[in-house]
Amino acid sequence: MNLEVPNKFKGVLKTAYTAAEVLLRPISRKYDVGEHTYPKELDILAAALSGANNASGGAIGGATSSREKEIPGAKKVLKNGGNMANCLNIQGISYGDVGLLLSFPGQGLGNAAIAAVSNDEQLKKFGKMWAAMAITEPNVGSDSAAITTTARKEGNNYILNGEKIFVTSGERADCVVVWATLDKGIGRAAIKSFIVLRSNLGMKLERVEKKLGIRASDTAAFVLTDCVVPGTDLLGNPEIDVKKGFGGVMETFDNTRPFVAAMALGCMQAAIERTREILSEKINLKDHKTPINKLKAAQAQFYRMEADYEAARLLVLRAAWMADNKVPNSMEASICKAKAGRVGVEITLKCVELCSSLGYSYKELLEKWGRDSKILDIFEGTQQIQQLIIARRMLGKGSSELK
């Protein structure tokens, strides 16, 4: 793969960074303080960026499946497609504000699930809607396979019962992709995802959460009580396949984990660049020739942060490139998410420390980026879960063998 940004995406990337600096940064603190207030400024911006994304072959919340079947006899051409475009866009916009990125109309994480595993009819029906993703439950966090929300087949419909928490864009989205099990006794193979409209009977918004970071983004809790979902709104194969059932549902994460890692990249990049501006008045941060053991402590720390950022960036590009070229990328998606999530928190908080009282003050967005970055190491699978997935892939062990 070529590690340079593809020429066809440079215009879109420039638009994203311009929007981040000119439109998002100025309102970032406003919606951090005014939590749960919908950022009306995003309506016009979202339309403009959506047009640019469509021209590049991708959208912020959409993705192509990394496991689509190859067309027999077709010439194989290595390409940079929708997943790469998404990651570059997401990093650019997150450079402005991650919470505002997550608040863009029509760009929910549920859209990635619909793009990854929906059929043509579902894509036509739901493809233009704003879709949230509902996986986490009160007693089920990182272990997605342990969810207890049930789906019972009744005629041509499914009846869902359960509770979902920490649903990003849950209050604002048009529909929610809900994970539920068809049979608790079978285990993970019985877990399916369902597209649930806000108007479906039995779906109730319980509350909107107050959070440490990404405050511009609403995070909701739902209760499903005999919620009626048409059978046609089940994503993927309705049959329970003990060998493959959960794999199809988990494929969504192979697409979305690089997106979350890209959010961490944008946050890191913003913090690093602002720290460079603040410290450069008194410290030379362009001395890359002197051995690190002879540098001032602040210089050495800053160069380590730059190196960690660059490593994370290249891992994200690799995972996205694999998805665009239909190469299974489950391990690589977890690797980039684990790396970017961990160093994102370390770097943004270290930037706060290096800038001393200015970094901790509301005068700068550094403290906000430090708060925002923490969730990027948690949602879409915690650091520990990513390491577990990586270990399983490297050792060739299943979930029952390595817990």
pLDDT score for 146: 84
Question: What are 63-101's pLDDT values in tens digits?
Answer: 444 444 455 555 677 888 989 999 999 999 999 999 999
**Contact criterion met (CB below 8 Å) for 340 and 296:** no
pLDDT score for 79: 86
Question: Are 348 and 272 found together in one domain?
Answer: yes
Mean pLDDT score, 162-166: 96
pLDDT score for 189: 84
Residue ending a domain, choose from 86, 101, 126: 126
Q: Is residue 183 part of a domain?
A: yes
Residue ending a domain, choose from 71, 95, 126: 126
Question: Are 137 and 120 found together in one domain?
Answer: no
Question: What are 195-243's pLDDT values in tens digits?
Answer: 999 999 999 999 999 999 999 999 999 999 999 999 999 998 888 876 6
Whether residue 121 is predicted with pLDDT greater than 90 in this model: the reply is: yes
Question: Are 187 and 229 found together in one domain?
Answer: yes
The CATH number of whichever domain residue 146 belongs to comes to 2.40.110.10
Question: Are 321 and 193 found together in one domain?
Answer: no
Q: Is residue 244 part of a domain?
A: no
Residue tagged 């864009």 (tokens): 169
Distances (CA, A) of 375 to 206, 359, 363: 22, 20, 23
pLDDT score for 317: 94
Question: Are 192 and 69 found together in one domain?
Answer: no
Question: Are 122 and 135 found together in one domain?
Answer: no
Helix %, strand %, coil % of the chain (to 5): 50, 15, 35
Q: Is residue 85 part of a domain?
A: yes
**Contact criterion met (CB below 8 Å) for 87 and 262:** yes
Nearest to 86 by CA among 122, 52, 48: 52
Active site residue 137: no
pLDDT score for 246: 58
Distances (CA, A) of 381 to 60, 251, 304, 310, 350: 20, 13, 26, 22, 23
287 beta partners: none
According to DSSP H, which parts of 210-296 are helical?
245-279
Mean pLDDT score, 262-281: 97
Residue 167 belongs to what domain range? 131-235
**DSSP at 72:** T
Q: Is residue 402 part of a domain?
A: no
Question: Are 320 and 359 found together in one domain?
Answer: yes
Mean pLDDT score, 151-170: 97
How confident is residue 57, by pLDDT bands cut at 50, 70 and 90?
very low
Give the total number of structural domains in the chain.
3
Q: Is residue 76 part of a domain?
A: yes
End-to-end C-alpha distance for the chain, whole angstroms: 34
Mean pLDDT score, 143-152: 87
Find the catalytic residue in 41, 310, 380, 401: 380
How confident is residue 12, by pLDDT bands cut at 50, 70 and 90?
confident
Q: Is residue 356 part of a domain?
A: yes
The CATH number of whichever domain residue 12 belongs to comes to 1.10.540.10
Residue ending a domain, choose from 106, 126, 146: 126
Q: Is residue 89 part of a domain?
A: yes
Question: Are 269 and 331 found together in one domain?
Answer: yes
| Average pLDDT, rounded, for the chain | 89
Paired tokens of 107: 């760009």
Question: Are 391 and 310 found together in one domain?
Answer: yes
CA distance 274 to 268: 10
- Non-local (6+) Cβ contacts of 123 within 8 A are 114, 115
Question: Are 267 and 181 found together in one domain?
Answer: no
Distances (CA, A) of 251 to 24, 75, 112, 307: 32, 25, 10, 30
Question: Are 158 and 69 found together in one domain?
Answer: no
